[in-house]
Amino acid sequence: MRDHQRTEDPVPGNLPLELDAFVGRTAELAGLARALDASRLVTVTGPGGVGKSRLAARAGAGRTPRDGVWRAELAPLRDPEFVEHAVVEALALTDHTARPPLDALCDHLAERELLLLLDGFEHLVDACAQLVGELLRRAPGLRVLAVGRRPLGVPGELLFPLAPLGEDDAVRLLRERTERQGVPLADDPDVRELCRRLDGIPLAVELAAGRLRALAPRRLLDRLGDRFRLLDGGPCDGLPRHRTLRTAIGWSHELCTPPERLLWARLSVFAGTFDLEAAEYVCSGDGLPSDDVLDVLARLLDQSVLAREETPAGVRYRMLDTVRAYGAEWLTATGDAERLRRRHRDWYLGLATWCELEWFSPRQHEVAARVEAELPNLREALEHCLSEPDGTHLGQYLAGSLWFHWVGCGRLAEGRHWLVRCLEPETERAAARGAGEQSRLKALWVLGYVAVLQGDPVTALGALEECREAAERVASPTAMAYAEHRRGCLALVTDDMACAERLLRSALERYREIGELNSNVLMGQVELAMTRAFQGDLADAVRLCEDVRRVCEDHGERWARGYALYVLAYAAWREGELATARELLTEGLKGAHAFRDLLGSVLAVELLALVTVAEGDPAEAAVLQGAAAGMWPSVGLPLFGSAYYNAPHERCEALAREQLGDERYARGVREGTRLGREAAVARALRGGPADGDRALSAVPAPRGAVARGAPEGAEQHEPAASRTRRGGETAG
């Protein structure tokens, strides 16, 4: 398969932008391009710091597969179980279902043509090899460019060993980096000798460039020779390049002041990126005052030990994996590693607590971005909680406090992973020996909530009943309210409206009694409104959701507000107010998509399809139904398998088929199914295809379609009262 793309279209993907010049490697780039043409799996190998990641990213940027180039960074992962999750995340694939992430990946990639760049897999080689082998077998349009210090060992793998830079390129790199810092550097014998002594390893050259602001090349050469003549001082694999790299890092470490070495070691407890506040809390004390952390961190930046990044969550810092590993060895040698890991855990427990509170505030989008950026560190904190004999209840608290991220930001599968681990029998016994019943109750109702949204009523009911019984035993009105609320939500999606209304009203009354008000409570009121709408009382549904909308606007809440807008749009459609319904759905879809809330997005697209056919455009309605059909497999059972939720879908399909005919309707659905999530949402928000991209959607609707598409009364949209209520008795 040769990569192809229309030249006027941008190639989708998530490759990082290059912040500084790419120097040399012309022959290597050409060779890697040929390797990618020849094999569906190419692995760039070489020692840490030799430039594998940068070369692979530059090579990936030169490819133009139809469905893009996507990079999954695996270095921050510790748990092999998260390799598949990391690839799901890298592909921006939101999957709400309970199916394994491998199945979601294979379904997503089955008919796509893209390049997947797996960076930093060497500590997870078995899990990565298994995943890559399976993906290549089941996705014929996939190519994989892997980056690591060893081969994957997958059949068909083509190895691309990367050597260090030649002397001329190493000198060019050193001069470019120092000139960027305002330090002009002549191409003299000392500079060339320095690059030779560093074996042309780019990371070593970058570290040297950071030091040349303060020392002349000759001084650096003297220090290198004096301190590391024997190239010892730690474990190595015997290869000269590897020893040189370790020497270069150790040399840079030796040139640091004691506070700089101390901070370097302590920063190694972070996974992925971190911000200044976290560094100040976790790393200060015992020889490093909090007020000094910023200055010391700035000096590590100057020396290229750290890199600075601008992200949606603000300025963050990153330490290369090789540099972090060196710092971790020093931290272990000081005997302070366990204390620093506990401080790291405590900071992220506090951060999760703050974020849960601030989720119900005008800072909701800021919270979403912050947790997304901190996810590697939150995973590290969760692992640490579960590794301690008395830390299980802390893990339950942390996993439960992140409910808004699991549910509201498209991470149901990962949330379930952590919640199940925290509630496993062996960890439960550990928790029972300590104090943590409230944390356990919270983890139970959050697990129940996640399972409801994943379409797993058995797990949901088990967790929620266990939560309810334990809440009665320990007299926890808060846990009782949440358990009852989520049982009502389960009854709603399994079509037992009477049970759902009873449970949701009771839960809302309990919330009022204990003074609870947050996004969960508002969602309970939205769900109650949905039961009223499905039972024909549109006025009550509108009243409830207008109240939710007012409260959301008072508090700056946007996530629950989107679901209230959905119910209001449903009521507007039922009343024939199509312009109002479209306006409400468009606003709600924008918000849901910004949060990566796939459930909110697909519900809005489904209802927009119905509004579209009622407006007289059955062809575009068919495309939107196809787009929704393409999204549902990543959400769960389409429309929850609910007759109530499905009735508008069935009406839209009937109207569109009537006006288009079966063949043209099916063609429109196929067109929509081929849209990716981003394209589907963009099309729904535009109200039609982009200019120059009209296909079936250009087919005009027959005259009179608006009148035939408009709702004719509540009774025709309600499922028959005699329809089977699946799961109603158990849900109640």
pLDDT tens digits along 559-592: 999 999 999 999 999 999 999 999 999 999 999 9
Q: 467 and 383 in one domain?
A: yes
Residues 6 or more apart whose Cβ sits within 8 Å of residue 213: 178, 181, 183, 302
Q: 458 and 387 in one domain?
A: yes
Model's pTM, two decimal places?
A: 0.76
Q: Which of 165, 159, 156, 219 lies closest to 191 in space, CA to CA?
A: 219
Whether pLDDT at 2 is above 50: no
Buried b (16+ CB within 10 A) or exposed e, 502-516: bbbbbbbebbeeeeb
Domain count, the chain: 5
- Quickly count: other Cβ atoms within 10 Å of residue 61's Cβ: 16
**Which pLDDT value is given to residue 102?**
87
Q: Bridge partners of 311?
A: 314
User: Which residue did the predictor score with more confidence, 356 or 326?
Assistant: 356
Query: Do residues 617 and 661 make contact, with C-beta atoms less than 8 angstroms apart?
Result: no
Query: Do residues 536 and 574 make contact, with C-beta atoms less than 8 angstroms apart?
Result: no
Query: Do residues 610 and 708 make contact, with C-beta atoms less than 8 angstroms apart?
Result: no
**Which pLDDT value is given to residue 19?**
65
| Structure tokens, 340 | 């620093």
Predicted confidence (pLDDT) per residue in 137-155, tens digit: 999 999 999 998 788 989 9
**Which pLDDT value is given to residue 204?**
81
Q: What is the 3-state secondary structure (H, E, C) of 378-433?
A: HHHHHHHHHHCCCCHHHHHHHHHHCHHHHHHCCCHHHHHHHHHHHCCHHHHHHHHC
Predicted confidence (pLDDT) per residue in 250-284, tens digit: 767 877 889 999 999 999 999 989 999 999 999 99
Whether pLDDT at 348 is above 50: yes
The domain that contains 124 carries what CATH number?
A: 3.40.50.300
Domain limit, last residue, from 161, 196, 212 = 161
Domain limit, last residue, from 520, 546, 572 = 546
Mean per-residue pLDDT, 347-360: 97
The domain that contains 504 carries what CATH number?
A: 1.25.40.10
Predicted confidence (pLDDT) per residue in 452-491, tens digit: 998 899 999 999 999 999 999 999 999 999 999 999 999 9
Angle at 120 between CA 116 and CA 123, to 5 degrees: 125
| Structure tokens, 176 | 């470019």
Q: 360 and 322 in one domain?
A: no
The domain that contains 319 carries what CATH number?
A: 1.10.10.10
Residue type at position 66: R
Whether pLDDT at 209 is above 90: no
Q: 641 and 504 in one domain?
A: no
| Residue 701 DSSP class | P
Q: 390 and 278 in one domain?
A: no
Q: 405 and 274 in one domain?
A: no
Whether pLDDT at 299 is above 50: yes
Domain limit, last residue, from 146, 161, 176 = 161
Percentage of the chain lying above the pLDDT 70 cut: 87
553: in domain:
no
Q: What is the 3-state secondary structure (H, E, C) of 312-361?
A: CCEEEEECCHHHHHHHHHHHHHHCCHHHHHHHHHHHHHHHHHHHHHHCCC
Q: 536 and 403 in one domain?
A: yes
324: in domain:
yes
| Residue 92 DSSP class | T
Alpha helix positions (H), 403-518 = 403-408, 412-422, 425-432, 437-453, 457-474, 477-493, 497-514
The most confident of the ranges 430-434, 583-587, 715-719 is: 583-587
Query: Do residues 211 and 185 make contact, with C-beta atoms less than 8 angstroms apart?
Result: no
Half-sphere exposure of 722 (CA within 13 A, CB side): 0
Report how far Cα 712 is from the mean position of its chain's Cα atoms.
43
Q: 618 and 584 in one domain?
A: yes
Predicted confidence (pLDDT) per residue in 35-66, tens digit: 999 999 999 987 677 888 888 998 988 888 98
**Which pLDDT value is given to residue 532?**
96
Angle at 226 between CA 225 and CA 228, to 5 degrees: 65
3: in domain:
no
Angle at 179 between CA 174 and CA 185, to 5 degrees: 65
Give residue 428's pLDDT band: very low, low, confident or very high (50, 70, 90): low
User: Which residue did the predictor score with more confidence, 203 or 373?
Assistant: 373
**Which pLDDT value is given to residue 468?**
95
352: in domain:
yes
Query: Whole domain around residue 465: which residue ranges?
Result: 344-546
15: in domain:
no
**Which pLDDT value is given to residue 255?**
74
572: in domain:
no
Q: 540 and 392 in one domain?
A: yes
End-to-end CA distance of the chain: 54
Q: 289 and 142 in one domain?
A: no
Element (H, E) at 146: strand 142-148
**CA distances in angstroms from 320 to 1, 258, 646, listed in the order given:** 34, 20, 50
**Which pLDDT value is given to residue 435?**
55
d(CA 638, CA 596): 18
d(CA 597, CA 287): 45
379: in domain:
yes
Whether pLDDT at 443 is above 90: yes
Residues recorded for the chain:
732
Buried b (16+ CB within 10 A) or exposed e, 371-405: bbbbbbbbbbbbbbbbeeeebbbbbbbbbbbbbbb
Whether pLDDT at 377 is above 50: yes
Give residue 707's pLDDT band: very low, low, confident or very high (50, 70, 90): very low
Query: Do residues 557 and 361 make contact, with C-beta atoms less than 8 angstroms apart?
Result: yes
Q: 593 and 537 in one domain?
A: no
The mean predicted confidence, pLDDT, of the chain is 84
Give residue 336's pLDDT band: very low, low, confident or very high (50, 70, 90): very high
Q: 212 and 119 in one domain?
A: no
445: in domain:
yes
Query: Do residues 499 and 730 make contact, with C-beta atoms less than 8 angstroms apart?
Result: no
